Amino acid sequence: MVRRFVRPGDHLHLAATQSRPGALTYALCRVFGADGRFTVSTTAVHGGAHALAIGGVAAKVIAGFAGDTYPTPRPNPLYARLREGEPFAFEAWSLLSYVQRLMAGAMGLPYAVTGSLAGTDLAADKAGELHVVPDPADPDSSLTLITALRPDLTLVHGACADEFGNVVLFPPFG
């Protein structure tokens, strides 16, 4: 299935919560390895998603966290050189702004308006992705626009599916 639908260089979104696509993530590594050169968006790189770093399949990751979450949140040595772009380029976003970008993409909008990044370090190094513009309703204020996120494919884990493509997802639905 991965060979059929996924192409090197694709932007792949890995679903979160109980619908994380662990088996598909491992399949990406087996099928493509370093030739994948994927852009991967996901809420966090932890657990099975460490395969993205170990397998070298991701060229860039867009997420809010890279490390370990169990038994407690902490750094992982895999990401000791993340600031230098190893094992992949990393674009950090707050969870709210990340979801707002996905929503804008799903609604066909070029941007989302956010209030969560103004004055934060996360707003740095976002040239082309974040724009501060005058508020048309209040000339003394500004708005922060963030570009829509539009993955080529979203990968989810389903409990079961039928031949028509109907999939049963675990709550809270990816």
Q: Is 109 helix (H, G, I), strand (E, B) or coil?
A: coil
pLDDT tens-place string over residues 15-74? 987 778 889 999 999 999 999 999 999 999 999 999 999 999 999 999 999 999 989 999
The full 3-state SS of 65-94, as one line of letters, equals CECECCCCCECCHHHCCHHHCCCCEEEECC
The whole-angstrom separation of Cα 128 and Cα 114 is 15
Number of domains forming the structure of the chain: 1
- The answer to whether residue 173 is domain-embedded is no
The continuous run of DSSP H or E covering 11 comes out as: strand 11-14
- The answer to whether residue 68 is domain-embedded is yes
Is pLDDT of 160 > 60? yes
> What was the pLDDT predicted at 171?
76
- The answer to whether residue 44 is domain-embedded is yes
Which phi-psi region, left, alpha or beta, contains residue 74 (left: φ > 0; alpha: ψ -120 to 50)? beta
**Domain at 48, CATH number:** 3.40.1080.10
pTM for the whole structure: 0.92
Q: How confident is the model at residue 158 (pLDDT cuts 50, 70, 90)?
A: confident
pLDDT tens-place string over residues 109-134? 999 999 989 889 999 989 899 999 99
Q: What's the domain range around 151?
A: 2-168
- The answer to whether residue 174 is domain-embedded is no
